[in-house]
């Protein structure tokens, strides 16, 4: 039997997908980190790894709302680089 990973919702498009298909961004004690491995503790938000969802999340500030933290341009830059790297 195949083991399924949990379902998470993309903060960009709102689609529910398998956790492993999404890019995790985490608020680790006030530091926003990109967590492709999903191992960093803290409040997390998920994004489909594409620029459309990223742009939507920036526009709607949905990452900030999900993480309850102000996200600087520098952090957004880091996240977009991670998506492009994929
Ligand atoms: Zn999405």
- Mean pLDDT, the chain, rounded, equals 94
Query: How many angstroms is it from 56 CA to the middle of ligand 1?
Result: 9
pLDDT-based confidence at 33, cuts 50/70/90?
very high
Query: How many angstroms is it from 22 CA to the middle of ligand 1?
Result: 8
Outline where DSSP puts E strands in 1-86.
Answer: 7-9, 16-18, 23-28, 31-34, 43-47
Give the Cα separation of 67 and 35 in Å (integer): 13
The per-residue pLDDT for 4 is 73
Query: How many angstroms is it from 52 CA to the middle of ligand 1?
Result: 8
Domains in the chain: ranges and CATH: 7-85 (3.30.1230.10)
Examine the pLDDT at 37 and tell me if it is beyond 90. Answer: no
Query: How many angstroms is it from 6 CA to the middle of ligand 1?
Result: 16
Examine the pLDDT at 52 and tell me if it is beyond 80. Answer: yes
Number of Cβ within a 10 Å radius of residue 63 = 24
Query: How many angstroms is it from 84 CA to the middle of ligand 1?
Result: 15
The per-residue pLDDT for 36 is 83
Please say whether the beta carbons of 17 and 63 come within 8 A.
no
The per-residue pLDDT for 85 is 82
């Amino acid at each position: 039997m195949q083991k399924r990973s949990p379902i998470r919702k993309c903060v960009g498009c709102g689609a529910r997908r398998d956790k492993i298909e999404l890019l995790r961004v985490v608020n680790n004690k006030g530091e926003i980190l990109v967590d492709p491995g999903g191992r960093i503790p803290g409040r997390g938000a998920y994004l489909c790894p594409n620029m459309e969802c990223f742009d939507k999340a920036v526009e709607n500030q949905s990452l900030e709302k999900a993480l309850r933290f102000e996200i600087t341009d520098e952090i957004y830059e880091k996240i977009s680089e991670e998506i492009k790297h994929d």
